[in-house]
Structure 1
């Protein structure tokens, strides 16, 4: 297994880390760049959300593109477009141009992510698929975690956001070169070299369509797999919603209980560090015991933490509870690292996974995009405790859906 994963480093894990480093560095600067162009706080938030909207809009076209040209060329095309979007940033003279550049980055991230996901689904054996995908998720998380620190160092050294933008451009350009000049994944692992899978797949008991018609397009694939997407896809979107909600809820909850910015940043940082530290453990659990043994603790820990947080705002120990529950949420999220990619790979047809994964990732991205909107809408008309509790309720509904529809036989062997 270790040798197989090492061979994936230059074609999968390396480009993932580079791309994530660039994204992680630029994300904290987006609202500042928007305000410098005259945007108010609300408009700055909309500009920042263009990254998520771009990812949401890019998943379906990504499935079509990967199915047409293959994983490597799809990543190169996405990288070149992302490079064009990054080059637009230093010259963005209006909010509209800035928004287009950020949207392009998110759109290309969707193509890039789906191409890697499709390759892993087709080539990584089932018995260590979760660990391979957890490592992929960990590579991305490490880049997103480290990127802001690099941005802070560059800003401290130069005093200009332009240095961070050029760092993004360098990271994206290096990603394109690594993908283009490195080994071709599809040639490196031809059908004859792929390790055989022992036993069935995680789709056992799901009554999935078979591989017949595996070259179907995106929309026909959506119709063909509509039952799976409507059940497990919606359950998966609830996990994405919890993950996205924590990034909004925790900082705002800290503000609501009167903490300063430094304390809030420290608590959120600790939560993120715990999340990152557990990414490989998540893959170990899924491969050794089954996917359900990762998803249930993760969903329950995050859901009950949001519900508990909603009940602690008025207590004298509110700060202590905030620290403890933020840590629990970080652990819960870490235990599900790579889970959504693993489930998508388990359920996708082996011969042509990209169209299915485009639909799967659209649902998970929709959950991530909807959660902050739901939370903000509820917080506007009700106390923040009600909005926070609603996130926990969404998580419990998703937990029930996973418990009802998660495949057992293939994934629990």
Structure 2
């Protein structure tokens, strides 16, 4: 669905800046969904949060099918972002409290790889469906089918909250003393302090590594927006755009486990630096290619470069968040961490839309490259201080 959202928007009459704004509703929804999702997980647990998120995603899909205006399309995309926040927060808290540190990065990279598998397969399925049916709406029907299967699997499958022991004490656990025994059950992710108070208490690390992580999140989000928009601005059809994004996703997916191996064996910095450097330089280079004769060739080549960079960043934000979270109270910090990183992801598409409207898509692309290089500098400066070699 991601590479086709700008196409849906343009078919409803949006220009390129407006299409970018509609696409940004996905990450804005993720940002706005962190706090209510945390409350929901605390109340009903990870499993049923995923069920309700799946049902809500189906409502969003129906809204996209029926969308006859940009307002309804934007609202539906926003709702999908809320559902993504619910899934993401439940998974992150679950893994942080149950995965041993010695292979944490590899496990979280595998988690990121599961998402990348969908990003890899999805555009190719979209291209095939469009070729067979002649309409982009067939991809929405596919989304509805996948989500329905997901809800059934989560409801009928084994409940991991009851079968996998907790290694860390859950947030807000009401115990008089630490018996040393494992705890089963859902992981509350919202305590009495709340996300915003936690943001203040951990403001030093969040203003340094957190802002660097927000830069990485912004660049990832920018990649999802810029690559389809760049294809639209070059006059490519939906099938071609989906294929280019799919090839980039294939490269991205192929490298997801390598990221975890590098982080666990050599340190976090050896994965995050190459990732941000490649994406930063890739965006800067792409910004100079729009009006040259070989623009389409450069589009495909640099999409591959960005795929390599994003693949090397698999699991990085999850791993840094888990590393920095306090052992006895990880969930509230993770809510703050995800709020900050999601803010970076939400701000990037809005900034791209505004810069494109005021100047050009090329300038917006180049500035995203600069953001990536700034993030790389931040990680290089602060990682040795806050993620020492003993945990890195």
Distance in 1, Cα, partners of 2:267 & 2:55: 38
Mapped contact 2:20–2:350 kept (Cα < 8 A) = no
What per-residue deviation string (whole Å, max 9, x for no partner) do you get for residues 167-220 of structure 1? Answer: 3222222222222222222211123799xxxxxxxxxxxxxxxxxx97643333
Structure 1, 237-246 or 120-129: larger mean CA deviation: 237-246
The corresponding residue for 1:48 is 23
The residue that corresponds to 1:135 in the other structure is 110
Question: For the residues of structure 1 that align with 2:136 and 2:290, how far apart are their CA atoms?
Answer: 37
Q: CA deviation at 1:156?
A: 3.9
8 Å Cα contact 2:126/2:242 also seen in 1? no
Worse overlay, 95-104 or 39-48? 39-48
Alpha carbons of structure 1 residues 230 and 63: separation in structure 2 relative to 1, 3 Å: farther
**Partner residue of 2:324?**
347
1:59 maps to what in 2?
A: 34
The C-alpha deviation readout for 1:296-348, integer Å capped at 9, x for no partner, is 11112222333344456687776666555443322121111111111112222
Q: In the alignment, does 2:162 pair up with 1:183?
A: no
C-alpha distance in structure 2 between counterparts of 1:268 and 1:116, whole Å: 26
1:215–1:352 contact (8 Å) kept in structure 2: no
Q: TM-score, normalised by structure 1?
A: 0.77
CA distance in 2, matches of 1:369, 1:72: 26
Instruction: Tell whether the 8 Å contact from 2:130 to 2:139 is kept in structure 1 after alignment.
Output: yes
**Deviation for aligned residue 1:33:** 4.8
Distance 1:155 1:328, change over 3 A: closer
Could you give the per-residue CA deviations for residues 64-121 of structure 1, whole angstroms, max 9, x where no partner exists?
3223333223222322322333344444555444433322221011111110111011
> Is residue 85 from structure 1 mapped to residue 60 from structure 2 by the alignment?
yes
Asked if the contact 1:71–1:118 (Cα under 8 Å) also holds between the matched residues in 2, the reply is: no
Aligned to 2:337: 360
1:241 and 1:193 mapped to 2: Cα distance? 30
> For the Cα contact (< 8 Å) 1:244–1:369, is it kept in 2?
yes
Check conservation: 1:289, 1:412, Cα contact below 8 A. no
Q: CA RMSD in A?
A: 3.3
> 1:333 aligned to 276, 298, 310, which one?
310
Q: Judge conservation of contact 1:137–1:338 (CA < 8 Å) in 2.
A: yes
Is the CA contact (8 Å cut-off) linking 1:82 and 1:172 kept in structure 2? yes
* 1:300–1:58 Cα change, 3 Å: same
| Aligned-pair CA distance for 1:393 | 1.9
Give the TM-score of the pair, scaled to structure 2.
0.80
How many correspondences in the alignment?
368
Q: Secondary structure at the match of 1:349?
A: coil
Say if 1:249 and 1:155 are closer, same or farther in 2 by CA, change over 3 A. closer
Partner Cα distance (1:33, 1:293) in 2: 39
Q: Deviations over 1:245-272 (max 9, x none)?
A: 233444555677x685577666544433
Structure 2 gaps of 5+ residues are: 170-189
CA-CA distance at 1:234 after TM superposition: 0.7
Correspondence for 1:18:
none
Structure 2 residue 384 is matched with structure 1 residue 409: no
Query: Does the 8 Å contact 2:20/2:229 carry over to 1?
Result: no
CA distance change for structure 1 residues 65 and 225 in 2, over 3 Å: closer, same or farther? farther
User: Which range is displaced more, 180-189 or 163-172?
Assistant: 163-172
Paired residues for 1:31-46 under 5 Å: 31=6, 33-34=8-9, 38-41=12-15, 43-46=18-21
Distance 1:330 1:321 in 2: 14
Kindly tell me: are residues 348 and 214 of structure 1, through their superposed partners in 2, closer, same or farther at Cα, counting changes over 3 Å? Answer: farther
Structure-2 separation of matches of 1:161 and 1:295: 36
- Measured after TM superposition, the shift of residue 141 of structure 1 is 1.5
Decide whether aligned partners of structure 1 residues 91 and 266 sit closer, same or farther in structure 2, where only a CA change above 3 A counts.
closer
Unaligned runs of 5+ in 1: 1-25, 195-212
Pair 1:30–1:317, CA change in 2 (3 A): closer
Residues 114, 354 of structure 1: 8 Å contact kept: no
Residue of structure 1 in register with 2:179 after alignment? none
Distance 1:218 1:79, change over 3 A: same
Instruction: State how far apart, in whole Å, the 2-side matches of 1:87 and 1:267 are.
Output: 27
1:119–1:185 CA contact under 8 A, matched in 2: no
Q: Give yes or no for contact 2:40–2:49 (8 Å, CA) kept in 1.
A: yes
- The 3 A distance-change label for structure 1 pair 299 and 46 is closer
